[in-house]
Amino acid sequence: MDWRENVRRVEPYVPGEQPNKKNMVKLNTNECPYPPAPGVEKLAREFDCDNLRLYPDPSSKVLVDALAQYYHVSPEQVFVGVGSDDVLAMCFLTFFNSDKPILFPDVTYSFYDVWAQLYRIPFKTCSLAEDFSLVAEDYMQPNGGIIFPNPNAPTGVMESLDTIRQILDANRNVPVIVDEAYIDFGGVSCLPLLEEYDNLLVVQTFSKSRAMAGCRIGFAIGSKEMIGYLNDVKFSFNSYTMNRPSLILGVEAIRDKEYFEKTVAKIIATRERVKKELTDLGFHFPDAKANFIFASHERVPAQEIFQALKERDIYVRYWNKPRIHNYLRITIGTDEEMDQLLAFLKEYLRGR
Amino acid sequence: MDWRENVRRVEPYVPGEQPNKKNMVKLNTNECPYPPAPGVEKLAREFDCDNLRLYPDPSSKVLVDALAQYYHVSPEQVFVGVGSDDVLAMCFLTFFNSDKPILFPDVTYSFYDVWAQLYRIPFKTCSLAEDFSLVAEDYMQPNGGIIFPNPNAPTGVMESLDTIRQILDANRNVPVIVDEAYIDFGGVSCLPLLEEYDNLLVVQTFSKSRAMAGCRIGFAIGSKEMIGYLNDVKFSFNSYTMNRPSLILGVEAIRDKEYFEKTVAKIIATRERVKKELTDLGFHFPDAKANFIFASHERVPAQEIFQALKERDIYVRYWNKPRIHNYLRITIGTDEEMDQLLAFLKEYLRGR
């Protein structure tokens, strides 16, 4: 016998590269190209460091209340965690304990199968249609729960509330989690459906539209009952997950609605312009409703473009995986960053 | 069938009260009474908020390197997490996967059985001796792993390296985790034993001696192999657990050795003085080697003292649990705070 025998062996998730070069163009991890709300900086300057000696509020009340107010729900319907990854991992642990497999798309956020393996949850993937849209009927087979992002990652494809409602109607007896990390960039949230479905949980994040990836804040909104179970598991894991800086700066990021709307509008405008330019360069892509475009070129393999971009310190994301090995996921940066990308692509593709 | 059927039901851990009253004396959660190192405040003032839009470094390199340098180990031997609770929960998930029960003391940190239940790990508790010391022989039965704090919580009792070595020698084939949350207050760390035992993991925290409970930073030091397995599980859970403020402020807290040593020396001096005064008031306690004293009164029941203190906004910790229901855990605060406590006790006990 050896201590190694009972170690939980996992295939760890590999996060996107975090290069840190001067003058690089970083379009690989869907971060926001604009800084957080100006009030965040102001609060950081005034932050009372002496208080760091004290534990944070385990209930994260200030942040939960700010979110409840913003989304017009009760504070008991809000759960916060260390980024939406922490929230989703807690959801897997809390809600997915059936012997039947949970269902999610074959092309989707790469963490779902990692969490399923980590917690030994049986799972089955459902193939997206040729155009990368969800096939609602596939989610009508027996299952132990359902999860999908909307818009989907890394495709950027948005499903309608009608499709989600179909899936919910066929699955009233299992938890259904909709991962809305990218919903603010032109999508329609299914938060209003919470009134009808007590088995629905909606997860969102501060890392994209709220420019706070560095603070690690994610949240879930659902029925009081679901949020209660989540909190029980969270309190069995770690009472104090959200640190004091996150709580204080997070509240300010959610409060400044005007700045948020302005930032998101700028990103959407840039995305729509880049869509046209990429099309002119011979790229095609599913209609992008997130802060990224999932693009494939008519002639040049994605992996070659990926390498060529990297050599010029322009970072995008590429996966050598079935169905998507000829696509690049390009985050929407500032107009200047996108111009650098487009200028390089124009020149590079001319020579190919 | 109903979605509730497969919910993971747990008895959540109840953290110490976090009252927030003006003029209260808060001696209930073992926080440091002194602020973090002065450099922490300076760095917070200079913090580049624009960077909050970017994900933190998933490997937490700056903090891992600072810890490795401080403790004279390789960076590959260091794992960091969101407080030692996060680190310990990851340890339970990673290392305790045997069918045999893990072993820990009957009187100990209340989170151990919570994590075991959360992850459905079989466990067995071993009774401490009458004086609350560990009985090494009890840890020589077949088991799936061992964990204990040193000094123990909430008793404050310190075990010698000899006792720990005995336990390690009898358990070369299972993971042995020593939780040294309170080691800096006069204990002897078992870090030097890492060279001999590749199945030993030592866990520490920034929340006590480093006055950073509000930042949520804990760490583990062990063999490269153990740390590697821990990182694999962590990366399967959440790539970015440590946020940017924690990483930056944490480095400064570990760098300032002089301030750290001064702070710890002050707390120890206060503790030694309070020990004498409590003895004079009719309290007895196991020798305290942590930043708290676990005290019982010769005449007045602990629960009554606890309530009387609370009514004066003096908060200490009390558990109505077997073996310890007549003890109070009193955190060492500033000299002024302890004087308030002692003055009240003097008066209160005279009237009883």
Q: What is the mean pLDDT of the segment spanning B160-179? A: 98
Helices (H), chain B: 38-46, 61-71, 83-95, 111-118, 161-169, 224-237, 244-255, 257-280, 302-311, 335-350
Tell me the per-residue pLDDT of B26-45, one tens digit each, with 9 for 90 and over: 999 999 999 999 999 999 88
**Residue B280 Cα, gap to closest chain A Cα (Å):** 31
Contacts of A61 in chain B (CB under 8 A): none
**Residue A218 Cα, gap to closest chain B Cα (Å):** 12
Q: How many CB pairs under 8 A join A and B?
A: 268
Contacts of A56 in chain B (CB under 8 A): 213-214, 216
Split at pLDDT 50, 70, 90, the class of A1 is confident
Q: What is the DSSP-derived secondary structure letter of residue B136?
A: G
Cβ pair B90, B234 in contact under 8 A: yes
Tell me the per-residue pLDDT of B199-219, one tens digit each, with 9 for 90 and over: 999 999 999 999 999 999 999
Split at pLDDT 50, 70, 90, the class of B21 is confident
Contacts of B97 in chain A (CB under 8 A): 6-8
**Residue B352 Cα, gap to closest chain A Cα (Å):** 34
**Residue B299 Cα, gap to closest chain A Cα (Å):** 33
Tell me the per-residue pLDDT of A103-116, one tens digit each, with 9 for 90 and over: 999 999 999 999 99
* pLDDT score at B16: 65
Q: In the sheet that B292-297 helps form, which strands lie side by side, from edge to edge?
A: B283-284, B292-297, B328-331
Q: What is the mean pLDDT of the segment spanning B119-141? A: 98
Contacts of A2 in chain B (CB under 8 A): 173
Contacts of A246 in chain B (CB under 8 A): 243, 245
Q: Which of A54, A60, A117 is the mutation pick for testing B, counting most B CBs within 10 A?
A: A54
Tell me the per-residue pLDDT of B216-246, one tens digit each, with 9 for 90 and over: 999 999 999 999 999 999 999 999 999 999 9
Identity of the residue in A85, A117, A236 whose CB atom sits nearest the CB atom of B238 = A85
Q: What is the mean pLDDT of the segment spanning B10-32? A: 85
Question: CA–CA separation, B153 vs B117, rounded Å?
Answer: 20
**Residue A188 Cα, gap to closest chain B Cα (Å):** 24
Tell me the per-residue pLDDT of A283-312, one tens digit each, with 9 for 90 and over: 999 999 999 999 999 999 999 999 999 999
Answer whether residue B166 shows pLDDT above 70. Answer: yes
Contacts of B92 in chain A (CB under 8 A): none
Cβ pair A65, A300 in contact under 8 A: no
B10/A95 CB distance under 8 A: no
| Beta strands B146-149 and B176-179, pairing class | parallel
Tell me the per-residue pLDDT of A30-84, one tens digit each, with 9 for 90 and over: 999 999 999 999 998 889 999 999 999 999 999 999 999 999 999 999 999 999 9
Identity of the residue in A29, A144, A214 whose CB atom sits nearest the CB atom of B52 = A214
Answer whether residue A17 shows pLDDT above 80. Answer: no
* pLDDT score at A223: 97
Of A294-298, B45-49, B55-59, B126-130, the least confident? B45-49
Q: Which of A51, A102, A200, A216 is the mutation pick for testing B, counting most B CBs within 10 A?
A: A216
Locate the chain B residue with the closest alpha carbon to A46.
Answer: B45
Answer whether residue A25 shows pLDDT above 90. Answer: yes
A85/B245 CB distance under 8 A: no
| Most distant pair of Cα atoms in chain B: their distance | 63
A47/B44 CB distance under 8 A: yes
Question: CA–CA separation, B30 vs B187, rounded Å?
Answer: 16
Q: What is the mean pLDDT of the segment spanning B108-116? A: 95
A7/B51 CB distance under 8 A: no
Tell me the per-residue pLDDT of A324-345, one tens digit each, with 9 for 90 and over: 999 999 999 999 999 999 999 9
Identity of the residue in B41, B85, B231 whose CB atom sits nearest the CB atom of A49 = B41
Percent of chain B with pLDDT over 90: 93
Q: In the sheet that A283-284 helps form, which strands lie side by side, from edge to edge?
A: A283-284, A292-297, A328-331
Contacts of B6 in chain A (CB under 8 A): 95-98, 144-145, 174-175
Cβ pair A55, A240 in contact under 8 A: yes
Contacts of A229 in chain B (CB under 8 A): 7-9
* pLDDT score at A259: 97
Identity of the residue in A13, A35, A211 whose CB atom sits nearest the CB atom of B236 = A13
B53/A212 CB distance under 8 A: yes
A7/B214 CB distance under 8 A: no
A243/B215 CB distance under 8 A: yes
Contacts of B85 in chain A (CB under 8 A): 237-240
A290 Cβ contact partners less than 8 Å away, ≥ 6 residues apart: A30, A151, A153, A156, A182, A185, A187
Contacts of A79 in chain B (CB under 8 A): none
* pLDDT score at B241: 96
Q: Which of B2, B8, B235 is the mutation pick for testing A, counting most A CBs within 10 A?
A: B8
* pLDDT score at A272: 98
B214/A32 CB distance under 8 A: no
Cβ pair B131, B296 in contact under 8 A: no
Answer whether residue A228 shows pLDDT above 70. Answer: yes
A95/B233 CB distance under 8 A: no
Contacts of A93 in chain B (CB under 8 A): 8, 118
Question: CA–CA separation, A34 vs A31, rounded Å?
Answer: 9
Mean pLDDT, chain A, whole residue set? 96
Note the ipTM here: 0.96
State pTM to two decimals.
0.96
Burial B285-319 (b: 16+ CB within 10 A, else e): bbebbbbbbbbbbeebebeebbebbbeeebbbbbb
Answer whether residue A14 shows pLDDT above 90. Answer: no
Question: CA–CA separation, A92 vs B278, rounded Å?
Answer: 49
**Residue A282 Cα, gap to closest chain B Cα (Å):** 31
Cβ pair A18, B58 in contact under 8 A: yes
Contacts of B11 in chain A (CB under 8 A): 236
Split at pLDDT 50, 70, 90, the class of A16 is low
**Residue B38 Cα, gap to closest chain A Cα (Å):** 9
Q: Which residue has the tokens 């603070």?
A: A215
Question: Beta-carbon neighbour count of residue B166 at 10 Å?
Answer: 17
Identity of the residue in B35, B145, B238 whose CB atom sits nearest the CB atom of A82 = B238
* pLDDT score at B11: 81
Contacts of A239 in chain B (CB under 8 A): 13, 15, 85
Split at pLDDT 50, 70, 90, the class of A143 is very high
